[in-house]
A = this chain, B = another copy of it.
């Protein structure tokens, strides 16, 4: 049966939520405090979950050290201690909500991993707010 292996990591970043096509009043109404033009920030907690077959030679679906190295290359290096809006090209024209950050991370992993593996991203913006991409039906 297919098996899922999961790796947790954290990164710290500043961000601001807004839609540049909207006026300030609309942005304030929709995004509230998250629209502070001076930015606020979070300790993001990321779970990368990869599903595949257990390799009978190793007992691994995929060595979690490899997953962790990918997390460092694809997420920590570009996102950690950065401003998502200003320092990360993927969010130059994409609102850095938790949903969109999870989608960006998913696309990076999907492009790196063989098709035999499924990927799921779980991203906590705070202890109370988190997202899963792709979502559960």
Q: Residues of A at under 8 Å CB distance from B?
A: 1-10, 12-15, 17, 19, 30-34, 36, 38-43, 49, 51-52, 54, 57-61, 63-65, 68, 80-83, 86-87, 94-100, 102-103, 118, 120, 126-137
Give the distance to chain B from A110, nearest Cβ to Cβ, in Å. 10
Q: Which residues of B contact A30 (CB under 8 A)?
A: 58, 63
The answer on a CB contact under 8 Å between A135 and B2 is: yes
Question: A129 and B13: CB pair below 8 A?
Answer: no
How many chain copies?
Answer: 6
- The answer for the CA separation of A133 and B136 in the assembled complex, in Å, is 13
A99 CB to closest chain B CB, in angstroms? 5
Q: A54-B100, A60-B97 are in contact. List 15 more A-B contacts (CB 8 A).
A: A1-B134, A1-B135, A2-B137, A3-B134, A6-B130, A6-B131, A8-B130, A12-B40, A12-B41, A19-B58, A38-B82, A40-B82, A58-B95, A60-B99, A118-B137
